[in-house]
Amino acid sequence: MAISKGDKLPDVQLVKATAEGPDKVSSGEFFKGRKVALFAVPGAFTPTCSAKHLPGYVEKAADLKAKGVDEIACTSVNDAFVMNAWKESSNADDITMLADGSGEFAKAVGLDADFSAYGMGTRSNRYSMIVDDGVVTELNVEDPGEYNVSSADHMLGQL
């Protein structure tokens, strides 16, 4: 069952992608005590994710922070090295990359998806959420193949 508005995020291990290498972080600690704009993509360097999703958050980072967001984070079922390379190649300095290499976070929130037909295995659905002190206050899950409600512009309208 997928997570819903009003639910507390489960506490699972993610890996924060940094220039110095992987840094393990619990989702409970990461989201504690602040407002985070989180968006999830099926894969780093994939077409829609690289052409629209990440660039939208890069472009709107200052606007999101002006509306009270403390941090903007992106998660994907990729390893920390891939997530950091994607961040660097996209000039996404204002985005914290959270690697979900084994898909544990995607599964824990019930937003994992089977992309085996595309040779990608189990990944994350495309979605965005606003998380305030670990609690989901807004949740926007895309229909398969779509990119609308998980955009930075849509999230700005929710803040």
* Spatial distance between the Cα atoms of 11 and 30, rounded to a whole number of angstroms: 9
Q: How far apart are CA 122 and CA 116, in angstroms?
A: 7
Per annotation, catalytic residue among 49, 58, 80, 149? 49
Distance, CA of 79 to CA of 59 (rounded, Å): 24
Residue 110 structure tokens:
């019930």
Determine whether 49 is an active site residue.
yes
How many CB atoms are closer than 10 A to CB 108?
16
Active site residues: 49
